[in-house]
């Protein structure tokens, strides 16, 4: 089962918004949000809540892809999120997430008994390539007690 298939099966909101996992690797995750009239806002684009879910889901996908082998000893959790809206979003959107720290550095902190934190940057783009939003999610790997 791929990361996208697992998250689609286990996260109901992913299915509700019909998010599509286009790429999920430890280097980047790319998700798509189709244009759906029932999730539009007052200007005819995707509601901010749908865009937030798209970006947060992309960040979660890269975290699972990068640290899935650590799940037996730690659970990934978001710590903080910041989102900036740059341009009007209309039509289908694509979110691309990238890790802000090397996987090996994060795992080394976990090996030292620490609770590592690491940022994941996400860009949301329209079909014309314009960046409509940027999100940073700081994640942690919380060791199991």
Total structural domains within the chain: 1
CA dihedral 34, 38, 88, 126 (to 10 degrees): 10
- Binning pLDDT at 50, 70 and 90, where does residue 59 land? very high
pLDDT tens profile 61-117:
999 999 999 999 999 999 999 999 999 999 999 999 999 999 999 999 999 999 999
d(CA 85, CA 51): 10
d(CA 11, CA 108): 29
Once rounded to an integer, what is the mean pLDDT over residues 53-57? Answer: 97
pLDDT of residue 1: 85
- Residues facing 75 on adjacent strands: 142
Mean pLDDT of the chain: 96
pLDDT of residue 145: 82
Four-residue CA torsion sign, 79, 104, 28, 123? positive
Q: What is the DSSP letter of 48?
A: H
What's the CATH code of the domain at 139? 3.10.129.10
Which of these ranges, 2-16, 45-59, 60-74, 123-137, has the smallest mean pLDDT? 2-16
* Residue 76 phi, psi (nearest 5): -80, 135
pLDDT tens profile 9-40:
999 999 999 999 999 999 999 999 999 999 99
pLDDT of residue 114: 95
Helix (H, G, I), strand (E, B) or coil at 139: strand
Q: Which domain holds residue 106?
A: 3-143
Q: What is the β-pairing status of strands 131-143 and 74-85?
A: antiparallel
């Amino acid at each position: 089962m791929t990361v996208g298939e697992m998250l689609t099966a286990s996260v109901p909101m992913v299915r509700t918004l019909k998010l599509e996992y286009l790429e999920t690797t430890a280097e980047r995750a790319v998700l798509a949000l189709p244009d759906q009239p029932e999730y539009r806002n007052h200007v005819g684009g995707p509601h901010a809540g749908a865009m937030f879910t798209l970006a947060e889901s992309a960040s979660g996908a890269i975290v699972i892809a990068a640290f899935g082998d650590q799940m037996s000893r730690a659970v990934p959790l978001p710590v903080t999120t910041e989102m900036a809206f740059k341009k009007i979003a209309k039509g289908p959107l694509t979110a691309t997430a990238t890790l802000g720290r090397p996987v090996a550095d994060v795992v080394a902190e976990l090996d030292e008994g620490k609770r590592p934190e690491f940022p994941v940057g996400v860009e949301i783009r329209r079909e014309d390539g314009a960046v409509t939003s940027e999100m940073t999610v700081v994640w942690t790997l919380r060791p199991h007690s």
